[in-house]
Amino acid sequence: MSHYAKGAAFERQLRDLLRAKGLVVVRSASSGVDGVSPDLVVLSSRKKFAVECKAWQHGPSIEKPKIEIMREWQRGAGVPVYVAWKAPRKEWKFFPLDALRETGMACVIGDKDWGMGLTLEEVLK
């Protein structure tokens, strides 16, 4: 299975989890290719946010230009954008964009940052 296919499968997994919680979820196909929108836009009458999904064994690294696009999207749409990280055999954790650390050409979430991520229940409060 290609890297893209694996990523798309995890995006669909999170989409289905959010839908099971009663939320409306729009998946932006090819968001990783066009780089101008988050992977998922999540809506309900009381909650609105967007998600950039990462299913990596170790803490994800996202190029700075992609993070800046997400920050612009967050400002323009007026909704928070989270990086959702799914590590093997663990639940999804959600990180606000400001929680990422800048290093060289990328913004990262380190393995040791796992515990600082929000659970889905915390995001939905």
pLDDT for 74-85, tens place per residue? 999 999 999 999
Among positive and negative, which fits the CA dihedral 113, 62, 35, 105?
positive
Reported pTM = 0.91
Q: Which CATH class is domain 3-124?
A: alpha beta
Q: Where are the domains of the chain?
A: 3-124
Other C-beta atoms closer than 10 Å to the C-beta of 25 total 19
Reported as a single tens digit per residue, the pLDDT across 92-109 is 999 999 999 999 999 999
- Do 40 and 50 contact (CB within 8 A), yes or no? yes
* Residue 3 banded pLDDT, cuts 50, 70, 90: low
pLDDT at 29: 65
Catalytic residue among 31, 37, 44, 45: 31
How many alpha carbons lie under 13 Å from residue 48 in its C-beta half-sphere? Answer: 5
45 catalytic residue (yes or no):
no
Is residue 86 within a helix (H) or strand (E), and if so which, with residue range? Answer: strand 81-86
Q: Name the H helices within the chain.
A: 3-20, 31-34, 64-77, 120-124
pLDDT at 125: 92
Dist. CA 120–CA 125, nearest whole Å: 9
